[in-house]
Chains A and B, each alone.
Chain A
Amino acid sequence: MTTGANRWQRFADWDLRPLRLDRFAAEDPENGFSAFRGRNDPQASLAIEDGRVTVLDGVPEARFDMIDHYIARYHIDPSVAAEAMAIPAAELARMLVDMNVPRTELTRLAHGLSPARLAEAVANLSALEIAFAYGKMRARRTPGNQAHVTNAKDDPLQLAADAATAVAFGFDEIETTVRVSRNAWSNALACAVGSAVGRAGTLFQCSCEEAEELKIGMAGFTSYAETVSVYGTERAFIDGDDTPWSKAWLASAYASRGIKMRCTSGAASELLMGFHEAKSLLYLEARCLCLQRAIGVQGTQNGGIDGAPLAATMPGGVRELMAENLIAVWLDLECASGNDARPTESEIRVGAKILPYLISGSDLICSGFGSILKYDNSFNPSLLNGEELEDYLVLQRDFEADGGLVPVEETRVLELRRRAVDAVSAVLEELDLAAPEARMKESVVVASGSDDTDSFTPRQVALISEKISERGISMLDVVRALDRRGFADEARNLLFLLRLRVSGDYLQTSALIRQGRVMSAVNDPNDYAGPGTGYRMSEDRRRDIVGIRDVLDRAEVLRTEGTFAKAEGGRIRYREMGPAQTGDDPGEVVVGVSPGFGLKLFRTLAGHPLSAVLKEIKAGVEERGLRLRVVRLLHTADTSFLGLSAATLSGSGVGIGLQAKGTAVIHQRGRLPHNNLELFSNAPITSLDHYRRLGSNAASHALGELPDPVVVPTRGEALGSRHHARVALIYAIETSLTRDGAAPQEIEIEFMEAAE
């Protein structure tokens, strides 16, 4: 004990938790630190004269900044504005959560709502209501997900392997970026090739400088773009080196080349850029989102994005991220709903952040799930990363929610990684870009992250990238190279992506590719109208999603036990001696073992052989000068009744109940079944020494003493999660062997010793 302590130790404990690495900020509306209530947030208002907006949220036309102008001109539809603006915010909020108000009615009204009114309406909703409304309002019925695929070395072999891996886990879109900007072409080629392994249709983007990104798209390497950022204040916009008109120009430019595009905006970007105008995160986002609809992009990457960690420092910040996403889908935009930049060091906050999106679904649940390890993420770590991907798969299974991913078998992943590395190597060789060596390839196939690879150096990558750019290599060259080297499937898959841009079908809202077909808000519209409607997993999809690895079943338990049977056969012999009698020896303690003990089941949950457990109990009894008698009970497998039955047969009146899984009890004749002397319920952490002391204490009770109970110390392990599946299966095996009214059997045990 520390003397002189004047602080509750618990606070010192809390100081050491990862949560305390997060720094929280005070609410300060003057300085832009307010999620919902900025000092300068305007009252919603709209005036229209001769079909022209003359006042928008309190600002007269003469004082419109660029953003006001663009929203007034292109977002507001004067033909619905009067009707829509007449509906109070609270009523709009109720309509959002009313399953009887169709989504299409709300998206129609949104064309006439000002940014402030949209913000006021969603601010009325609790986090739960926002999640519900989001599930109803998102544009495409079927949910999807997007992965980041990057690595710390910009290594093309690893990019290809990790892209193929992400595709196998089911991501609909893959986004890469660069550590070194001149590596963009190499990264694009490598990810594109990797994403074509296994199946066709995963959309791919390479986030880099705006003009360079468009060129890479024109050369056919990428199929979409999303890092076209917009901001909610004019000064932030200008510092972002664009205007609404330049962004709109870019949007049309991508479409004109048949390339899918969405804009990006997220809470707190204006705050980070120093021009927040003392307005709330939500109001500024409402402006960004109206602007994006006005520009005519099909969708948005929205929900904090790079500003999410800052938003999450504020009270209500996470609810605000959900609220802005709701505005995005209310405006009928595809929503790649953030959940990317990791906003916390607390795993609890991570899990809480993702859950509403997982259960409500989203066009792209993460706009960058880090499919690679945290340190390999060139965007910075995501909310969820390669380390945690299996946690996410289990969350899907827990909630029977389609988060866009599916488990993949270990051997399948390895095959795909090898195929991807071979394919990209063939392209690099065939186009005379580089000559990967066998050791490089092998190191990448098995590596979890770039720390474990022995592959290209960043300098070599820069040379590859410059050659691709200088020689004007296009995706068609890559297709031909793959075909020449026998990768016809991959060649065909890449050509499939190129052909998408000819029809432009995936330029429509919320488009992704499933089973070789474009699926968008046009042909797969969200039709949620209450229970039983909207997206429901098919039986096949459910089977895929719940099919995680390494699950227990009865056959597995019996098979595992079978492997112990032989070893136990060499250590102990049980001899059936006929019906057990009630003893009259006051010096005996009877242990009643369960029906499957030593017959079907051979070790405790802690892994101790049952022979060793019996040996220790016997030694414990004998060290107090008493004797142990063993009976097998066949009418019950329950610990309490095993113990009480054994006690009833015991000459001393004290008995021990012992299940095969190791749970034990000391009982006494005449007590109520569940009112025992000592219970050893935590079998997984019960040691052989505990069993010896159990035997000793049972003997003490038989001698009329009151021994110190044996304490099996727990350190707070979630023993239920670790063991209960096996416990239930084992116990079912035991109970299946019971017969009502079956008499106890006397057992003679003999411990076998081999010569040294």
Chain B
Amino acid sequence: MTTRPFGIPDYPLAETCPGEVRGARGLSLDELTLERVVAGEIAMEDLRITPQSLSRQAEISRAAGRPTLALNLERAAEMAALPQRVIMEIYELLRPGRAKSEAELISAAKLLRETYGTFKLADFLEEAAEVYRRRGLYMGRY
């Protein structure tokens, strides 16, 4: 098993390795056919990108000289495993004045780290918590 990072020659993944690109329930691109959809064998979950594909895209971004896009895709790779509800709740919490104290963001970071094992996202929230405190964002706006 090679550990070589993905690069520009591997792109687009759908063309270079369609058999390896799989949805969240394991079906490969080749298996995501209209016939299967019509037969009711495919759900939206099958059409969800996996953390692995996002990590590979992050590697390609980095190889193409786009490290910040790579970081975003790496956060997304962690988020791919999060339930939609948690994503939306934390988004709301990050908006100005939603969290009334630094502790709320810190506790969300703890949830991300301990329950979901998404460490990059947890660090990201803690960074926000510190800046929000310094800039006085823990203040109700409506």
Residues of A participating in the B interface, judged by any CB pair closer than 8 Å: 65-66, 69, 73-75, 77, 104, 107-108, 111, 211, 214, 218-220, 234, 238, 241-243, 245-246, 248-258, 293-298, 332, 474-476, 479-480, 483-484, 488, 491-492, 495, 498-505, 507-509, 517-518, 520-523
Contact = CB atoms under 8 A, between A and B. Distances in A.
B132 A243 contact: yes
A250 B64 CA distance: 23
19 contacts: A74-B68, A211-B91, A214-B88, A220-B47, A243-B96, A245-B124, A245-B127, A249-B87, A252-B76, A256-B54, A256-B87, A257-B49, A294-B68, A476-B47, A484-B38, A498-B47, A502-B48, A520-B11, A520-B12
A28 B88 CA distance: 42
B106 interface: no
B73 A108 contact: no
Contacts of A253: 76, 79, 87, 91
Interface in B100-142: 121, 124-125, 127-128, 131-132, 135, 137, 141
Contacts of B13: 503-505
A521 B12 CA distance: 11
B96 A241 contact: yes
A216 B61 CA distance: 27
A504 B124 contact: no
B68 A295 contact: yes
Chain B CB within 10 Å, residue with most, of A77, A501, A503, A520: A503
Q: What range describes how many residues of B lie at the interface? A: 35 or more
Nearest to B95: A246
Contact of A250 (B69, B84, B91, B135): B91
B60 A66 contact: no
Contacts of B56: 504
Given A256-B49, A518-B12, A238 B96 contact: yes
B49 A107 contact: no
A533 B136 CA distance: 52
A296 B44 contact: no
B53 A504 contact: yes
User: Is the contact region of chain B dominated by helix, strand, or loop, or is it mixed?
Assistant: helix
Contacts of B42: 476
Nearest to A214: B88
A65 B43 CA distance: 45
Interface string B47-79: 111000110110011001111111111011111
B32 A499 contact: yes
Interface of B: 8, 11-15, 21-23, 29, 32, 34, 37-38, 40, 42-44, 47-49, 53-54, 56-57, 60-61, 64-73, 75-80, 82, 84, 87-88, 90-92, 94-96, 121, 124-125, 127-128, 131-132, 135, 137, 141
B65 A238 contact: no
B34 A243 contact: no
Contacts of B43: 476
Nearest to B17: A503
Contacts of A73: 127
A75 B73 contact: no
B111 to A, nearest CB: 14
A508 B60 contact: yes
A509 B66 contact: yes
Contact of B94 (A65, A245, A254, A508): A245
Given A255-B79, A294-B68, A504-B73, 15 more contacts: A245-B94, A249-B90, A252-B76, A254-B76, A255-B76, A256-B77, A258-B47, A476-B42, A479-B34, A500-B14, A505-B12, A508-B60, A508-B61, A508-B69, A509-B66
Contacts of A246: 91, 94-96
Contacts of A104: 65
